[in-house]
Amino acid sequence: MPRFYQTPLTPQEIQRTAQAAVRALEENGLECCLFGSTACAIYGMENREPNDVDIVVLTEIQTEELKDLILETDDNFYLIPSRDPNATHRVLWYALSSLEQPHLERKCKVDILVPGLLSIPRVPSQHIMYSENFPDIPLMPLLPLILLKLRGWSDHRVDEREYMQEKVPQDEVDIEEMLQLAVEEYDVHIRKEKWLPEWFIREAKERVGLFAKELPGSEAHWRDLGFFVS
């Protein structure tokens, strides 16, 4: 499909993409849950609109095989080579049609990951969350979702690429809003998430301390979640 410039995706287009990806995976007997900015938006984050869909598939199957399974199940998905000339993976996209502008091709990127990649923990089935507004879209629990956002912030800070470092301010805004939601709307606490692996919590505690030092206004919320910050 040709490359083109498109206006920002609407929440409805993001929702359709997420639903299609989840449906394709479930038709192949695979459990999954959303994380990243789309999951944050479903939980209630309002400071920005997501522009893609991130899904972790709870399986041992390699990500490239998962992409092929999705393609075989729904022909609205397609693959293109990565823009990185050194990369071997292909990028998964979902073709969207617009009733308002049917002559324009629109698309949404879908990132497929599995537990272990990017320090993503395996989420037990009974801990997958659902929103009343989107009951057919499984979500990563809020605490690990925030802690993965925190990992992204930490990685972006030390990345040598300028465009990655430019993500840091937005990361900080996202994390602070999600912390507020976790405390005020969802009553999240680390003691309620005993299923989380020790290595995941250990790594997170180091990043929490660093974030609280950089943004001291976040300390109270981290404490409310059960993290010790000095």
Kind of pairing, strands 52-57 and 106-113? parallel
Cβ-contact 182, 143 below 8 angstroms: yes
Supply the mean pLDDT for the chain.
92
Residue 134 has pLDDT above 80, yes or no: yes
Residue 102 has pLDDT above 60, yes or no: no
Please tell me what DSSP assigns to residue 126: G
Alpha-carbon distance of 87 to 83, in angstroms, equals 8
- Residue 91 pairs with which residues in a beta bridge? 80
- Tokens standing for residue 107: 């698309």
Residue 104 has pLDDT above 70, yes or no: no
Q: What is the pLDDT of residue 2?
A: 44
Q: What is the pLDDT of residue 125?
A: 95
Residue 82 has pLDDT above 70, yes or no: yes
Q: What is the pLDDT of residue 230?
A: 77
Q: What is the pLDDT of residue 103?
A: 52
Confidence of residue 107 (pLDDT cuts 50, 70, 90): very high
Q: What is the pLDDT of residue 226?
A: 97
Alpha-carbon distance of 4 to 60, in angstroms, equals 35
Lowest mean pLDDT among 2-11, 16-25, 144-153, 166-175: 2-11
121 phi-psi bin (left φ>0, alpha ψ -120 to 50, beta other): beta
